[in-house]
Amino acid sequence: MELRLTAEQEALRRAVRHFAETEVAAAVPRMETEGDNSFPSELVSRMAQLGWMGIPVPTEWGGAGGDFISYIAAIEELSRISAAVGVILSVHTSVGTLPIMKHGTEEQRRQVVGKLASGQWLGAFALTEPQAGSDAAAIRTTASRGDGHYALNGTKLFITNAGAAQMYLTFAVTDPSLGTRGITAFLVEQGAPGLRIGRKERKMGLHGSNTCELSFDGVVVPETRRLGAEGEGFAIAMGALDGGRIGIAAQALGIAEAALRLLENGLLSRPGGSAGSRSKHAPAGGRGRRTAELAELAELTARVEAARLLVYRAAYLRQAGRTCTKEASVAKLFASDTAVDTSGAAVRLLGREGYARPYPAQRLFRDAKVTQIYEGTNEIHRIVIGNHLLR
């Protein structure tokens, strides 16, 4: 069993790591302080120039011709430095581009996927609504059929990349009597009459990533921009979320790795020293406290290594075209819990350099928390995993 990246995959990882440690790292302070104006459009443009906005998309559709594992490695590396940049690319690719590549017509692939994969357009995924978060079947946005078009009406909430995206993969109810089989997917462009970008959420973490409300007031969408057949929208969304959850798991893995490095530097760089102190003298608690800290570091190291294996197992299955709903949920659940626990330990054990804003540990903790919430809360993933086991 091969447990390492190919030469091509490793070359991409190294290139993304260099970009993240130089250009992305330089932009992090601005993303953390500029509020509503913090979206890193210049970094998105640079990733487009480098060919990374369509890593797993074939070259004939404007992509880089890479694979899903390469894409996951890129998300991991970006998220080690900025989880915000990681999620921008993850949403754009996993749930903004790949569903259109899989379910779109030849014309949609050529026109829409080509613009997304080249980075000319940024993609977003408009599923969540005020009353429909983890329960996607409860959406109320409607799509009324007219003569060769549909009219969309409703509200979407907590939409990543909103306001910066040029294409919104949007889900609406075309036949309420059919339940989930009455949901249909549509491709809605930025600037469509009746589409309004609402308030930008002020989040505890992921500063730099746009998260906004969308409202649809009679937005006209031609039949040619319906994705798949009527009633296939729920299945399209669930399939997209399997890949999306692996992307979020990779984001969480990157956060956990960054927090683990901070802990290693803080606990191991000063022999006999301890977290929270820059003194040359041994801290209160002495050897016993030191032993307890190293034991916790060892435990977290084991969990991060396990998370890496789970994330890449799910990515391998996705790349091979195999069903991976359970494996994606396991990876997302375990990696996100590990990210929160590892970054939380960094805040707790590094003292002033864990809690104070100029230092990265507190940012990693704030960024980590949402990985337990979006792309399905971890409570939902426990149910998904349990249901698969009971089958």
Which residues have a catalytic role annotated? 375
CA dihedral over 163, 121, 101, 376, signed as positive or negative? negative
292: which DSSP letter?
A: H
Contacts of 390 (CB under 8 A, 6+ apart): none
The pair of three-digit structure tokens given for residue 89, joined into one six-digit string: 């690319």
201: which DSSP letter?
A: P
Element of type H or E holding 221: strand 211-222
Specify the 3-state DSSP secondary structure of 152.
strand
What are the backbone angles phi and psi of residue 96, rounded to the nearest 5°? -100, -35
d(CA 382, CA 137): 18
The partner residues of 271 in beta bridges, in order of sequence, read none
C-alpha triplet 27, 28, 31: angle, nearest 5°:
90
